[in-house]
Amino acid sequence: MNFSPITISVLLTLLSPSLLLCSGESTVVVDKPPPTVCIIGSGIGGSSVAHFLRNYSVSTGLNQAQILMFERREIVGGRMRTVTVSGDTFEAGASILHPKNYHARDFVERFNLTVRLPTAIEESSAIGIWNGKKFVFKTFGCFGIKFPFVDKIISLVNDLYLFLRYGFSLLKMSNFIEITVGNFLKYYESLESRPIFDNVEGMLKWSGLYNLTKFTLQEKLSQLQLSPVLVNELVTVITRINYGQSVLISGLAGAVSLAGSGGGLWAVEGGNWQMAAKLINHSDVTLHLNEKIESISNLGNYYELNSSKGNSFKCYVTVVATPLDEVDIQFSPAISIPKRELQHTHTTFVRGLINPGYFGMKSVSDVPALVGTLEDPLIPFSCISILRKYNETDMTYKIFTRQPASDSLLDDLFSARTETLRIDWGAYPKYHAPEVFAPFLLDDHHLYYVNAFENGASTMETSAVAGENIARLIISRFMTKESSSSSDTRSCSSDLHAEL
């Protein structure tokens, strides 16, 4: 059969690449490069997103995605950080994990990390509540006696002592914690029975935790008819230690804080930051350290990320996994999220010896291993605890303050200091009830915000839970868009065949 030049020209036009892309026929192969996912922040939230993306996208178009991760500092881990004092390593950031933090447990087992249980001094039952002038309550310590039955007897005596002071309110508080933890455990249910959430409010409502964000912890505990003495003393000490704030924090953050004061707490030997490092290493991530992202621009089919090093990156999906409260990222178009401040906890490590005279005591052994404080602006510290005891005159302490600890304060608190190390830790949000949440989705495309969940509660585990949900949300929306594109392709193909 002979074709005229005009006929050949028409056929070539019909079979141009733009029309071939519409064809659904197996004979036409169009290689699309794998999408690029960019994650800003290498803490537990960002590393969890990378991990769950790899685990959940095996049979999706995201399984070959290139994951880029940007960390503005020289090491991974975000707010998980360790310091070294006289050769010993201590947690300077997020430090404790709950026995029912199942994602963290899985990470540790998966990557053969070692669980570190509290040392004898960290588990000491000697706790004192300081009002600025005296100890209003103080439990008994073991006084260095290393016999299990002695520990048990002292523990029972302290339990009785606590009950005599706070009564049945202790049981009410314990029940409140148990119910809250039980609701949180819903986030570990099977993928089939657990929805994918595109907003924090829906995620909290589904688990039954949302209402706790509408009231302060003080209001919630008052509803439960807890003793004001318990709330003003023991509960206040716990919230000041765990969140650097008073019982006026929101109820959910307060409940999580209380849960973090129970037994069975643990950490990762050598530093909790290793969880993030292992997740990153095993998720085939291209890591950019010392590279701060300065701008994110939505250019239609992709996001352009520009860094402090002058580099530019094209990303199909962008995940912000760092609090936006104190980082200066320029968004184009601009995003809108509720204004929020971070609570800074100033952590000071001191190797030396406490001054018993500051507390009106004659002997160092009379000062409890953990000194917590009441909510009083005149009290210059939130807590002081012994991290390691070398001998009777040489110990390492950890002090939490809301303002930097001055040398004059430390000179008052300690009779001797051989080493002092200060850390300014932008640790968690300043909680206010009712809480207002930033969205998980910062635009209508693929710009996500893991840390929106922090206004509920901020822990390593809540960041992992939020990261897992974000990974599922990315995959779900990616698959929906891919299905939509496939439908458009089939329609285009049918039309083309009809025209031919």
Q: List the CATH number of the domain containing 165.
A: 3.90.660
In 282-384, where does DSSP find H-type helix? none
Six token digits for residue 482: 């891919």
| pLDDT value at residue 493 | 30
**CATH code of the domain covering residue 301:** 3.50.50.60
The answer to whether residues 247 and 174 belong to one domain is yes
Contact (CB, 8 A) for 295 and 424: no
The answer to whether residues 170 and 245 belong to one domain is yes
In a domain, 147, yes or no: yes
At 121, give phi and psi (nearest 5°): -70, -35
Place of tokens 């807590």: 383
DSSP line for 209-246:
-GGGGGSBHHHHHHHTT--HHHIIIIIHHHHHHHHSS-
In a domain, 11, yes or no: no
The answer to whether residues 374 and 242 belong to one domain is yes
Q: Whole-angstrom Cα distance, residue 203 to residue 490? A: 36
Q: What angle do CA 289, 345, 273 make, to 5 degrees?
A: 35
The answer to whether residues 295 and 244 belong to one domain is no
In a domain, 239, yes or no: yes
Count of CA atoms in the C-beta half-sphere (13 A) of 116: 16
The answer to whether residues 148 and 282 belong to one domain is no
In a domain, 126, yes or no: yes
In a domain, 200, yes or no: no
Domain with 362 in it: 82-192+206-269+343-428
The answer to whether residues 175 and 310 belong to one domain is no
Place of tokens 């830790």: 425
In a domain, 9, yes or no: no
Query: Cβ atoms within 10 A of the Cβ of 332, count?
Result: 12
In a domain, 18, yes or no: no
The answer to whether residues 144 and 281 belong to one domain is no
| pLDDT value at residue 263 | 82
Model-level pTM? Answer: 0.89
| CB environment 244-256: b (16+ within 10 A), e (fewer) | bbbbbbbbbbbbb
Could you list the pLDDT tens digit for every one of the 500 residues in the chain? Answer: 444 443 434 333 333 433 333 334 444 444 567 899 999 999 999 999 999 999 999 878 788 999 999 999 999 999 999 999 989 999 998 899 999 999 999 999 999 999 998 877 777 768 999 999 999 999 987 655 556 677 788 889 999 999 999 999 999 999 999 999 999 999 999 999 999 999 999 999 999 999 999 999 999 999 999 999 999 999 999 999 999 999 999 999 999 999 988 888 999 999 999 999 999 999 999 999 999 999 999 999 999 999 999 999 999 999 999 999 989 999 999 999 999 999 999 999 999 999 999 999 999 999 999 999 999 999 999 999 999 999 999 999 999 999 999 999 999 999 999 999 999 988 999 999 999 999 999 999 999 999 999 999 999 999 999 999 999 999 999 987 765 554 443 333 323 222 21
The answer to whether residues 359 and 445 belong to one domain is no
| pLDDT value at residue 484 | 55
The answer to whether residues 61 and 166 belong to one domain is no
At 319, give phi and psi (nearest 5°): -120, 120
Residue 39 in 3-state DSSP? strand
The answer to whether residues 72 and 40 belong to one domain is yes
CA dist 271 to 99, 120, 275, 311, Å? 17, 19, 8, 32
Q: Give 194: exposed, middle or buried? Use CB within 10 Å, 0-12, 13-18, 19+.
A: middle
DSSP 423: E
Among the candidates 385, 403, 428, a domain finishes at 428
Q: Whole-angstrom Cα distance, residue 333 to residue 298? A: 7
Among the candidates 375, 394, 428, a domain finishes at 428
Contact (CB, 8 A) for 98 and 262: yes
In a domain, 433, yes or no: no
DSSP line for 261-309:
TSSS-BEETT-THHHHHHHHHTTTEEEEET--EEEEEE-SSSEEEEETT
Helix (H) or strand (E) holding 462, with range, is helix 460-499
Q: Whole-angstrom Cα distance, residue 258 to residue 462? A: 15
Q: Whole-angstrom Cα distance, residue 462 to residue 44? A: 9
From the list 217, 204, 207, 216, the residue with the least C-alpha distance to 259 is 217
The answer to whether residues 418 and 307 belong to one domain is no
Task: Give me the sheet containing 414-429, strands edge to edge.
Answer: 135-138, 127-130, 370-373, 383-391, 394-401, 342-354, 414-429
Contact (CB, 8 A) for 107 and 281: no
From the list 343, 308, 313, the residue with the least C-alpha distance to 328 is 308
Number of domains in the chain: 2
